[in-house]
């Protein structure tokens, strides 16, 4: 049932009650005037006055009960429809909130993994456990997997969040993407061993800058995303 129809029914009920009361009251006064015209003594008028008050109160009470019953018959379907709509809305909202909570958890986990992988990959120094080249490749592979997994999952679940929030996440991800591309290119150039001293200095300085930016600037933006996630989930301090 549309809300416009509900309002229309309520207006009809109010108009019906008002009109019914006026008709009843006018009819009662007409009958009372007829009775008064038949009387001739003060005693009769006094008795009539008392009888009229009693009868009027009884009829008013009866009429009120009748109107209450009629009103209940008209209002009950409206109440039932509103309750049904409210329950449907609660179920839909509850399901959406549960699904969004799952999505938030996965996005947040993938974002943290992406940041951790980028910090490890772009660090200026790495301890060598067994094989430096193999461990370097493992860090590179970890970053590529983290980037792809975050992007794939996030893009497929953007509808759970306001567009303004998605725009913010997009910008943060783009910073990781650009930093990764720039750092990876510089790393490959340095590993090639075919750079002049000036170019070697340029790329190593560039890689150091990227590493610092990831460690110092991006955690603040992750905190902002985390705070917005908490707000959506209604997590209280």
- Rounded Cα distance between 118 and 135, Å, is 14
- Rounded Cα distance between 237 and 234, Å, is 10
> Could you list the mean pLDDT of each consecutive 10-residue stretch along the chain, which spans 237 residues?
50 52 52 50 54 63 68 64 55 65 93 96 87 90 96 93 94 95 90 84 90 94 94 78
pLDDT of residue 60: 67
What are the residue boundaries of the structural domains of the chain, listed by start? 3-89, 95-233
CATH number of this structure's domain 95-233, picked from the four choices 1.20.120, 3.90.320, 1.10.287, 1.10.3470: 1.20.120
Specify the DSSP class assigned to residue 158.
G
pLDDT of residue 191: 84
pLDDT of residue 91: 46
State the burial class of residue 73 (Cβ atoms within 10 Å of its Cβ: 0-12, 13-18, 19+): exposed
pLDDT of residue 208: 92
CB 6 within 8 A of CB 78: yes
pLDDT of residue 52: 55
- Rounded Cα distance between 147 and 216, Å, is 19
pTM (predicted TM-score)? 0.61
Distances (CA, A) of 150 to 67, 106, 200: 64, 9, 32
pLDDT of residue 150: 96
Residues 6+ apart with CB under 8 A from 48: 35, 36, 39
- Rounded Cα distance between 210 and 216, Å, is 10
pLDDT of residue 192: 82
């Amino acid at each position: 049932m549309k809300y416009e129809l509900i309002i229309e029914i309520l207006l009809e009920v109010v108009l019906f009650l008002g009109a019914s009361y006026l008709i009843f009251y006018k009819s009662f006064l007409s009958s009372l005037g007829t009775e008064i015209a038949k009387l001739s003594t003060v005693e009769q008028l006094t008795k009539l006055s008392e009888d009229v008050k009693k009868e009027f109160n009884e009829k008013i009470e009866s009429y009120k009960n009748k109107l209450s019953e009629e009103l209940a018959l008209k209002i009950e379907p409206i109440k039932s429809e509103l309750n049904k709509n409210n329950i449907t809305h609660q179920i839909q909202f509850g399901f959406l909130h549960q699904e969004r909570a799952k999505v938030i958890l996965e996005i947040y986990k993938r974002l943290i993994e992406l940041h951790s992988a980028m910090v490890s990959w772009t660090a200026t120094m790495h301890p060598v456990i067994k094989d430096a080249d193999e461990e370097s490749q493992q860090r590179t592979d970890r970053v590529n997997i983290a980037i792809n997994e975050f992007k794939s999952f996030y893009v497929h679940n953007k509808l759970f969040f306001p567009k303004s929030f998605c725009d913010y996440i997009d910008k943060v991800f783009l910073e990781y993407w650009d930093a990764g591309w720039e750092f990876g290119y510089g790393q490959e150039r340095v590993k090639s061993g075919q750079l002049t001293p000036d170019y070697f200095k340029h790329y190593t300085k560039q890689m150091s800058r990227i590493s610092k930016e990831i460690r110092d600037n991006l955690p603040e933006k992750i905190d902002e995303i985390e705070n917005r996630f908490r707000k959506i989930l209604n997590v209280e301090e």
